[in-house]
Structure formats: C-alpha cells, structure tokens
Amino acid sequence: MNTMGCRFLIFIFFSSLPFVVLCQYSSFNKIQLPPNVTSAVAVTFGFLGRGPFVAVSDGRILQWLGPLFGFIVFAYTAPNRNQQLCDGTTDPNLGPICGKPFALSFSLKGYLYIADAYFGLLVRPSPSPLLLFPPSLTTACPRLRRKSEHLLLLCHRHRHRYRHRHREYRHSFHAASSSADLHRSTATAMRSRGFIVEMNSAPLMLRLVVGPNGGLATQLATSAEGVPFRFLNAVDVDLLTETVYFTDSSETLELRQVPFLSFSFQTAFKVHRTHTRGIISDSTGRLMRYEPLTRQVTVLLRGLAMPSGVSVSIDGSFMLVSEYTGNRIQKYWLRGFNGGTSGILLNLPGNLTKIRRNLFGDFWVPVRVLGNQQPTPIVMPQGLKINQFGTVLANVSFAAQYNNTVSVVLEHNGALFVGSRSVDFIGVYTY
C-alpha cells in the first residue's frame, strides 16, 4: 500500500463530524498466529515493549517473541481447560470450558490484567527477567555467585544444573561450533522446557515461564455488588495508581446470546438483522473499578449500551468508555471538579469496540460501519484517532486487509497493531 500521507477530507460515513484526517500507511505486514489459531481479539504490549501479547479465540494469551521464536503461551483463564479439546477451537459453546479473554492490560509492576467473558477479572504476573551471558565455547560453565542472584550462564555442555530461588533447573544443550549454532541449540532447548530466549545482543535475556503451556491466571472478581458478571469485555490499568477499570457488557446477556460479538464473524449481517433488535435495547452494561490493595470492586457507571472498551487518560484524571450498540464514547471524570460524573464525548455512525490510548495521550477506537449496499451491506472497518476533547485527528481504513470488522487498534512505536476476531494474524501498519 503506497502512502499519500494524511489528507483532510470529508469522509462520507463520518459527514456529521467537523472533519476527518484520512491517513494511509506505507506498508502492511502480518504477524501470523500459530497454526489453527484465529481471532486476535485483544492486543497489548508489556513492560519494556515486550510482545505483543494477544488473546485468541481458544482461550489462551500468547506472547510474540519475534520471527525466530514465534508465539509461546503466556497464560490461560479456564482452570479446567482441556488442551486437546480447546487448542485451536472456534466453537463459541466451548467458552465456559476453554475461556474467552476479551481484553488485556499491563500494569507498570508487570501484572497482566485480563477480562474474560466467562471467568471475570483475572491477573497473571510477569516472571522476573534473568540475564544470560553467552560463555566461551571452550570453558566450563561458571556457577552462580550466590543463590539470590538473577544471573544464569549458558553452557554448550550437557546436563548442567542451576538453582534460582530455591528451584533447580536442568539445561541440555548441544555442542556448538559457532555463536549461531549456540543460539539455535539454546533456543531449541529453552522452548522445549518452557523457557524463552530473546536474542538481541549480549547479554541475552532469559525469561522464566511456568511451563511450555503457559500459566493459569488468578481469578480476582466474578461479581460486583452482588450481581454476577455476564461477560467482561474491556479492562485498563491506571499506571499511576495501579487501579484497574473494566466493563461488563450486560447484566442480562452472556456472550453466547450476542452472536455478532463472538469470535466468528462469517454470518455477521445475518446475525445483525436477526439478533440486534433485542440487544440494542439492552442498556445494563456497567463500568467498574477494582482496587488491588483492598480487592474491592465498585460500580462507577450503569446504564451503558454494550460497553466494549475502556481507556484511562495519561494523567489518570478521566477515562473514555466506548459503547458497541450505543455508537458513542462516554467520558468519565475520575478527579477534579467533575470527578465521579460522566458525559457523552462523541457520537459515531457505527459500532465501536476496544478503545486504546497511545503514548501521547490520544486514543484509537475501531468503528464498524455498515454501508447501504443491497441486499447485503458491506461492513467497512475504520480506525479513528481522537483526542481528549473528542476531536477526530485521523481516520484509517482497514477494508483492504480486513473485509468485515476490527476488534482493536493499538499504536506502538509509531506503528498500528490491529487485531480482528475473523483473521489468523495481527496486522502491523507502518509509515
């Protein structure tokens, strides 16, 4: 895709807005999901830019380690998850068994908070990093200087043991004749034992994982004020206070009763016509707060029309909430004169999904617009960039790569990372 830069245009589907900056990116690349895995419904990055981490349709959270290592399983949400039954599934009826993580957000302390449609609010701590220094190929493996030290030294010799935090690990590496061979044998050994190696430059980084199948996330909350969650759909963490904000899409409908919000989108328009009437009338969604110190859940806002996204401002003074069937973005003030109140920031002619803040304090929100074509309208996925005042700063069309819907648009290091529940990749748009 050739870039023409950003142009000020009156876009037909957003003619009610003052203006739209229509942007085109110069290149599009794919981060391919593992075989038989679809639906990158949520995408986020961890501390120091690790990732991306992605929630997929079969209930797992995967971490991307780069083209050399691909994806590994970072976490899963269902305590009795059956790997043979669940891995690669797209069956919405298996959600209560396999889990359905819909949103991800990291805290500065390295905790990954997860909103799951069936298992509520969960958290998964990020393992502590360990530094790896590639040793000489002709020397014996050095030992740790003390038990609490976070240093492990790789060796090409066979079956050397190291201790870390009172746990013993046994590594098996093949003899190597070059650094490249050492890297390859190291990667193979690490992945087979549930370890991760990120090969950038010496010292290398080794991060410990619970096992090759990831770790079970800890359940934090399943209800608020005596009302069980029906399905959580969004989560974000205030990086200043570590407070967690999240949304429950409905008090009356669960995920399986909202087919066009499920991971499969092949029959989008048919479902839209037959199921939307009752769902649009549902305005029982809630915005909630979870305090990690007290473990208390508080309802902040009720009466939301299928809230599907939440994002805290860069200074923690407010947050934005997107409503899928309400076709609008609400602003909720957390502090100041208007603290504890809300108002409509922006109305849009389409369904809204995840809303995510970038490093500069602006927000990206995907908009799903139905055209007027007959007999079956065309679904046109857009990405809108807005500021805290509701001004539209940019509009990106994803129709060329995504022919139906986009779940999340995340800006990271100048690129847009795009997830959709109907494809088997993460899209990366760069200038």
Q: Quick one: three-class SS letters along 62-81?
A: EEECCCCCCEEEEEECCCCC
pLDDT tens digits, residue range 197-237?
Answer: 333 333 333 333 334 456 899 999 999 999 999 989 999 99
Q: Are strands 318-323 and 307-312 parallel, antiparallel or unpaired?
A: antiparallel
Percent of the chain with pLDDT over 70: 66
Phi and psi of 207, rounded to 5°? -120, 130
* Distance of alpha carbon 54 from alpha carbon 421, whole angstroms: 11
Q: What three-state secondary structure class fits 117?
A: coil
pLDDT in tens, 349-392: 889 999 999 999 999 999 988 766 556 666 788 999 999 999 99
Cα–Cα distance for residue pair 129/27, rounded to 1 Å: 33
pLDDT averaged over every residue in the chain: 76
Fold of 31-127+216-430: Neuraminidase (2.120.10)
Q: To the nearest 10°, report the CA torsion of 232, 238, 243, 245.
A: -20
* pTM greater than the 0.75 cutoff: yes
Q: Which residues of 268-281 are buried (b: 16+ CB within 10 A; e: fewer)?
A: bbebbeeeeeebee
Contact assessment for residue 287 and residue 321, using Cβ atoms and an 8 Å cutoff: yes
If one compares 143 and 225, the residue with the highest pLDDT of the two is 225
How do the domains of the chain map onto residue ranges? 31-127+216-430, 129-208
**Three-class secondary structure of residue 179 per DSSP:** helix
At 160-201, the pLDDT tens digits run: 443 443 343 333 333 333 334 334 444 433 433 333 333 333
Q: Are 59 and 98 in contact (CB under 8 A)?
A: yes
The one-letter amino acid code at 133 reads: F
